Structure 1
Amino acid sequence: MAEQCKISAAMVSEERSYVLKVDGYSRAKALLKSGQCVNSDLFSVGGHDWAVGYYPNGDDDDCTDFISLFLSFESAVAEDVKAKFTFSVLDENGEPVPSYSHTFPLDTFLSKGDNLGCRNFIKKADLEASAHIRDDSLTIKCDLTVIHDEETIVPPSNLHQHLGDLLNSKDAADLTFQVGGQSFSAHRCVLAARSSVFKVELLGPMEESYAASPIEIRDMEADVFKSLLHFIYTDTVAPVLDVVMAGHLLVAADRYNIGKLKMICEEKLCSHIDSGMVATSLALAEQHGFHALKKACLKFLASPSNLEAMMVSDGYEHLKSSCPYVFKELVAGILPAELKAAKDIIMTMWR
């Protein structure tokens, strides 16, 4: 959510972005007729509740070739509520697609159930021919601003947007990195300001060893370094961060001591533990000291059925060879409490 605007009188607006991910795009289109919609969960902006209505086959028979989108006001209030909003399709990097974005000017919502939107938001044939439906999934963002006063508005900070533009334009870049066969331009001062490790390497006693260009970074994929740079400049990750990328980014964030990114990635991995990924996640946690992730993995493996499923996963052999000592905690964790002596013996192993 954007920070509250500060002016001499009072806060006059509140802005928030809501991301609607339509999983099963084809199924929704097949099951829902024209005029039928899928409603998002309620979200709060400006002290009021809102929802987005997604019509996969248009909101009536005159626009069946289009996707319709509507913003619905869901609060019961006595006063009129002024708001403006933008609907945007997001690309694979979580950025709005300009050709699939529509901005609605300031308007008034009078009562619960009032809605505004676009009947002909996207022509389905054009969308389906594009690259913006991935794995039968479509991601749409609603940027909503609720206005509380007609006085001059001080916009929320857009520093992250300007820094992101600086990264993309490469203007005044004074560093080049070589990662996984690809070159990346960057700015020494930005990297040093955002990472204590980069600060030591680029501005400290090691500066001379990093004077040569390009700087080669080993043991990291190009797409991971690209995502790392994106976070360094914008303080954001893609709205839809997949688990594999979260694991790679967690290691990169730990390597360059970027605390917020570590927290985001570790939380993502903790909330997506399954029998196929748990061995890999546990090895990652043990090798890099990610305590929250390790605790979540051990809790998941306390179930004998989950433990058995993990032992036939692709990551099991890697866990066994790279972190054999972690098995003492696994075994001790599934033994009943009355076998305390056995637990004590197990916990002394591999010391």
Structure 2
Amino acid sequence: MTTPTTVSTCTPETEQGKHVFEIFGYSEYRGMGVGELIRSGTFSVGGHDWAILFYPDCPCDYITVCIKHLSQDAKVWASCELRLVDQTTGLASFLHKDGTRLFNPGDYFLGSGLSKKRTQFEASVYLRDDHLTIECILTVKKPRVSTTQFLNKIEAPPSNIMEQLGKLLGEENTTDVTFSVGGEIIGAHKILLAVRSPVFRAELYGPMKESKGQHVTIEDMQPAVFRALLHFIYTDSLPDVDKNVGEFNSELIWHLLVAADRYAVDRLKSVCESILSKNLDVETVSTTLALAYQHNCDRLKDVCLGFVSSSSVMDAVVATDGYKNLKTTCPHALIDMLEKTRRFHKT
């Protein structure tokens, strides 16, 4: 009789979170006294609670920022990045980073944190209109142990259906519909398009279908955008974004959001909104905001308005070409932007 062998595995699991702490009326906190602090709201990363601590009156005329582990029932391995935001651009240009270390309940990032000479800080771009912004990016690391299994258990291979469907994009001999896009002819498979897009289903199979449904002309779309749309329909991914994170192309994502809305590919539309919301800057926020209004992206609209109102970048945004276009194409967005900024600075 064979003795059964069991096995379990341990793999590292990482969770990252970002917290932004806005401090208004900075001058009112000067003179609080050494050891006195301002604490952010509690935020959670990796199942643990944390807070940003700001000390306006440290010895030797310094200001200091650090992080505290608030959870009282567990230890955790974590690393931290602390940033001060440039109030003229909205970008986090000053960076302090602590490597991974073990936190006991109630621990601080002792001896580290972000410290800066008060006179140097008060003359810097990090303080404007008595307002500063602190960003904290926490990375929590913990082991993930699998359930115990028999070693001789036969495991099924992982699904590769998306990889197989993706190969169909290059198989011209199996396509049953062609699209003319910007002078290029692109082949595809009607049934796949119909399953993934109700608009394609109506065009290719419904009463509004083209003659015989064999050839369709696509107006007002670049070939590269249509190819990216097809790639997502076939594989549920965007290779130029998912696999090359450092090569963000805002113009492509803008056009893809429009295409996703046009063909009712809702998941692609949400993916585009997510990517744009994570890559907002002074130059792109106005164009992104206009698209959010035009294509009913309420969550993206709120993120854009929040970026402008909370990062003190209004003057820089107003100077961009995107803002000039926004005034023409989406004037009601300006009213919402100004009202959001006004409400934010009243709180």
TM-score by length of 1: 0.53
Q: 2:181 aligns with which of 179, 195, 218?
A: 179
Separation in structure 2 between the aligned mates of residue 297 and residue 278 of structure 1, nearest angstrom: 6
- CA distance in 1 between partners of 2:201 and 2:157 (Å): 31
In the TM superposition, what is the alpha-carbon distance from 1:154 to its structure 2 partner? 1.0
Among 7, 11, 17, which residue is 1:48 paired with? 11
CA distance in 2: counterparts of 1:153 and 1:329, whole angstroms: 55
Please state how far the C-alpha of 1:50 moved relative to its aligned partner: 8.0
Cα shift at 1:151: 2.8
What is the aligned counterpart of 1:163 among 162, 165, 175? 165
Of the three residues 175, 187, 190, the one matched with 1:188 is 190
1-structure distance, mates of 2:257, 2:286: 16
SS at match of 1:250: helix
Other-structure match for 2:92: none
Change (3 A) 1:188 1:336: closer
Distance 2:293 2:281 in 1: 17
Aligned residue type for 1:172: T
In the alignment, structure 2 segments of 5+ residues that lack a partner are: 1-6, 15-145
Does residue 1:233 correspond to 2:234, yes or no? yes
Distance verdict in 2 for CA 1:337–1:185, change over 3 Å: closer
Query: Are 2:279 and 1:279 equivalent residues in the alignment?
Result: no
| Deviations, residues 114-164 of structure 1 (Å, cap 9, x unaligned) | xxxxxxxxxxxxxxxxxxxxxxxxxxxxxxxx9963332211211111111
**For 1:171, what is the secondary structure of its paired residue?**
helix
Partner of 2:206: 204
Structure 1 unaligned spans of 5+: 1-11, 14-45, 52-145, 341-351
- Structure 1 residues 210-259: Cα deviation after superposition (integer angstroms, max 9, x where no partner): 53653111111111110110111111112236232222111111111111
- Contact map agreement 2:261 2:269 (CA 8 A) in 1: yes
Q: Does structure 2 retain, via aligned residues, the 8 Å contact 1:201–1:210?
A: no
Cα RMSD for the two superposed structures: 2.9
Distance 1:237 1:180 in 2: 21
- Provide the secondary structure at the position in 2 that maps to 1:295: helix
Superposed displacement of residue 298, structure 1: 0.4
Match in the other structure for 1:19: none
Contact 2:176 2:214 (C-alpha < 8 Å) held by counterparts: no
Deviations 1:279-319 (A, max 9, x none): 10011111111111110110011147311111111211211
| Partners of 1:279 and 1:310 within 8 A in 2 | yes
Q: 2:336 aligns with which of 311, 318, 329?
A: 329
Q: Which amino acid aligns with 2:217?
A: E
Tell me the equivalent position of 2:257.
250
Which residue of the partner structure matches residue 223 of structure 1? 224
Deviates more, 1:223-232 or 1:211-220: 211-220
Letter in 1 for 2:12: D
**Closer, same or farther: CA 50–326 of 1 in aligned 2, 3 Å:** closer
Q: In structure 1, the residue corresponding to 2:174 is in which secondary structure? A: coil
CA distance in structure 2 between the partners assigned to 1:308 and 1:211 by the alignment: 55
Q: Distance in 1 between matches of 2:158 and 2:253?
A: 28
Post-superposition shift, 1:335?
A: 2.0
Q: Measure, in 1, the Cα distance between the counterparts of 2:229 and 2:215.
A: 18
Question: Match for 2:229: what amino acid?
Answer: L
Distance 2:186 2:159 in 1: 26
CA contact (8 A) 1:304 1:334 kept: no
Q: How far apart in 2 are the matches of 1:150 and 1:245?
A: 48
Aligned residues: 203
**Distance in 2 between the 1:320 and 1:280 partners?**
11
Shift of 1:271: 0.9
- Paired with 1:188 and 1:309, the residues of 2 have a C-alpha distance of 47
